[in-house]
Amino acid sequence: MKDENLYRPYSTESSLNGCPCGKHGSQDEHDRQAQAARLRRAGDAEALSGDFVEAAAVRALFPHDATRRNLIKAVGGPTLMAAIGSLLPLASLQANAMEKTGALEKKDLKIGFIPINCATPLIMADPMGMYKAQGLNVTLSKTAGWALVRDQMINRELDASHFLAPMPLAMSIGQGGTPQPMRVATIQNINGQAITLALKHKDNRDPRNWKGFKFAIPFEYSVHNFLLRYYLAEHGLDPDRDVQLRVTPPPEMVANLRAGNIDGFLGPDPFNQRAVFDQVGFIHILTKDIWNGHPCCAFGASQAFIDQNPNTFAALYRAILNATAMAHKAENRPEIAKAISKPAYLNQPETVVLQALSGRFADGLGKVRNEPDRADFDALPWYSMATWMLTQMKRWGYLKGDVNYKALAEQVFLLTDARKQMAALGMPAPAAAANGYRSFTIMGKTYDPAKPQAYLDSFAIKRA
């Protein structure tokens, strides 16, 4: 016997007579309808605010999930709900939460994005009504490449944007132009990238044999560039001398692979999965297997926009945080994939988007893999993520001279603001986020954010 049965005969939450409510033909149909209703509810500002307040109140009363679950099993959900309602003035708390902290300075906003899975929270907030729930009228502007995103932000053609996480750091210190203070409000996604190779290399999996390969990366100031360089260098290859790295917009990566212009790419989904879908490539390694939990893209705005529109920026913050929290839950991914795969957004087959988001995917080598942490969504912009990126910019010669890693990270990454906004929405941050620094392990090597220069000095292959 197995517990995989579609009708869940051993679950206390299922019914063997159609469904618990009696309105659907099966438990599966009931669950799908219930999930769709929850997602629609997320677009209702009042309902969403009230739900967060109630969830936060229950969490405060029962900080341990096991205690809460055992009590629900003992007395039932409706009984517990009534008891909490008699103890706490939930209606008043919910009404207070809905009070506006200030009028929106600007309601009509233009936000840029590149059509990739990394931008899932920013994109899904549009079709799922999360911007409207905050009183915002957002137009999402699909952009072809990252250089154009940078230029449009500098020229104030966009109010805010989807960024590669290192871009605001580079822009703030004038890498490639005049310094333009940019701020990272949230990390859009963690993991969710891969090294994809052309099918002709399926028997050449040892990176030490890749001298002369041509690889595509989405932008110089990208985690993709830094992770690919790191991976190659750890296998003894100098990424500036032994291979060619070509900046290529993500939507063009699969076409270049098909045409033989490149041997592979380290890029974002859904294009790794699209290369498999189109039978032109295979997934060599997921980036989570290089650095599990690594940041990739971010959401942010200029300091000037934040200063001029503080209430609008706070509303944007809430919309993105709500979307990120929803995207973090694996059970929401099918509905999200359906919403964001449409032509106005990713314009990709829904199955391709879902395989990359869910972690159940074909790898192009004849296997179906199940890796739920292939992609995830965690909004916290850790300072130590920023300092690691700065060490890699320094390592490969993008930054010259002395670098105050800590000061720049804390200027650009708005960790304190993120924690404050998350707390207001009932999303407590981990205790370690109080100072914003934590160590990471990349290919077995630990990065200690208290010693960035020592970390940089430890590499044999580098330009610095």
The C-alpha atoms of residue 296 and residue 124 are separated, in whole angstroms, by: 18
Question: Is 108-192+295-458's fold the same as 195-287's?
Answer: yes
Task: Judge if the upstream peptide bond of residue 270 is cis by omega within 30 degrees of 0.
Answer: yes
Count of Cβ atoms closer than 10 Å to residue 253 Cβ: 27
- Give which of 258, 293, 297, 289 is closest to 195, Cα–Cα: 289
- Give which of 259, 262, 257 is closest to 272, Cα–Cα: 257
Interval 107-155: pLDDT, tens: 999 999 999 999 999 999 999 999 999 999 999 999 989 999 999 999 9
Element (H, E) at 96: helix 90-98
The pLDDT score that the predictor gives to residue 258 is 98
Query: Do residues 169 and 390 make contact, with C-beta atoms less than 8 angstroms apart?
Result: yes
The pLDDT score that the predictor gives to residue 9 is 53
The pLDDT score that the predictor gives to residue 205 is 96
Tokens of 238: 């100098």
pTM reported for the whole predicted model: 0.81
Enumerate the H helices of 206-332 as residue ranges: 223-234, 253-259, 271-277, 303-308, 310-328
| DSSP codes, 47-60 | HHHHHHHHHHHHHH
Structural domain spans, the chain: 27-100, 108-192+295-458, 195-287
- Residues present in the chain in total: 464
The C-alpha atoms of residue 410 and residue 103 are separated, in whole angstroms, by: 28
Phi-psi region of 401 (alpha: psi -120 to 50; beta: other; left: phi over 0): left
Stretches where the chain sits below pLDDT 70 are 1-29, 32-50, 52-53, 56-57, 59-60, 63-65, 86-87, 89-101
CATH 3.40.190.10 fits 108-192+295-458, yes or no: yes
Element (H, E) at 197: strand 193-198
The C-alpha atoms of residue 219 and residue 216 are separated, in whole angstroms, by: 9
Interval 212-261: pLDDT, tens: 999 999 999 999 999 999 999 999 999 999 999 999 999 999 999 999 99
CATH 3.10.110.10 fits 195-287, yes or no: no
Q: What is the dihedral sign for C-alpha 91, 94, 98, 99?
A: positive
Tokens of 420: 């404050």
The C-alpha atoms of residue 23 and residue 395 are separated, in whole angstroms, by: 61
Place of tokens 């998350």: 422
Distances (CA, A) of 428 to 60, 189, 220, 321, 434: 11, 18, 34, 12, 11
